[in-house]
């Protein structure tokens, strides 16, 4: 393979992976290659798999950044609400004059908002439900959907090998799926 051909191959991969263009024909047109040549490069080097890895990594980085930003924001909110509550406490302890009913009602509202803000900053819901409980409930709902899908596959797909492939593909998308209730309860799906 000559140097210019290697360069074209690298450039074709770059065009595909940067999503500048994903069409074999368009990549070929830009680089003076035939579409089937680009398709062969794409298959030989598994460009689709590489792109999927890149997309997953970008999504993971975005999720990490969002989580980091959320923690930072939560710390700021928690500290802000702590300052507000301390100021109210010191003002009340110092006894600077009498408060009207309206002033006390306003203070109670501020305290309630501060407490709600602190709960949210700690990852708790306003109703008292912990984030872990919310995630567990969401996971249970996802699991119920998977179970319903597997039941439908079991009922409507007569080919056992195809059922096994579908089951494996579904379970591959769920962390901790190995040894799950579905695997124990539904051996006939496999």
pLDDT per residue as tens digits for the range 122-163: 666 656 566 677 677 778 887 787 778 778 878 888 888 888
Last residue of a domain, one of 128, 147, 173: 128
Same domain, 124 and 153: no
Average pLDDT over residues 162-167: 81
Same domain, 142 and 182: yes
Instruction: Indicate whether 186 pLDDT > 60.
Output: no
pLDDT per residue as tens digits for the range 30-44: 998 999 999 999 899
Last residue of a domain, one of 108, 128, 148: 128
Domain around 9: 3-45
Question: Under a CB-based contact definition with an 8 Å cutoff, are residues 154 and 188 in contact?
Answer: yes
Taking all residues of the chain, what is their mean pLDDT, rounded to a whole number?
76
Enter the DSSP assignment of 188: G
Neighbours of 100 (CB within 10 A): 9
Same domain, 122 and 73: yes
According to the model, what pLDDT value does residue 179 have? 43
Residues pairing with 130 in the sheet: 124
Give domain status of residue 9, yes or no: yes
Give domain status of residue 57, yes or no: no
According to the model, what pLDDT value does residue 40 have? 92
| Distance linking the first and last C-alpha atoms of the chain | 47
């Amino acid at each position: 393979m000559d140097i210019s051909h290697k360069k074209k191959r690298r450039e074709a991969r770059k065009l595909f992976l940067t999503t500048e263009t994903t069409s074999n024909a368009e990549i070929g047109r830009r680089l003076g290659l035939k579409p089937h040549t680009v398709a062969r490069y794409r298959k030989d080097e598994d460009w689709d798999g590489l792109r999927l890895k890149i997309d997953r990594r970008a999504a993971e980085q975005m999720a990490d950044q969002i989580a980091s930003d959320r923690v930072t924001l939560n710390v700021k909110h928690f500290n802000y609400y702590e300052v507000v509550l301390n100021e109210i406490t010191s003002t009340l302890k110092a006894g600077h004059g009498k408060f009207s009913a309206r002033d006390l009602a306003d203070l109670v509202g501020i305290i309630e908002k501060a407490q709600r803000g602190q709960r949210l900053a700690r990852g708790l819901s306003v109703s008292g439900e912990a984030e872990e409980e919310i995630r567990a409930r969401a996971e249970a709902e996802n699991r119920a959907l998977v179970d319903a899908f597997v039941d439908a596959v079991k009922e409507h797909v007569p080919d056992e090998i195809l059922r096994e492939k579908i089951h494996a593909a579904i379970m591959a998308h769920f962390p901790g799926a190995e040894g799950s209730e579905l695997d124990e309860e539904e051996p006939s799906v496999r």
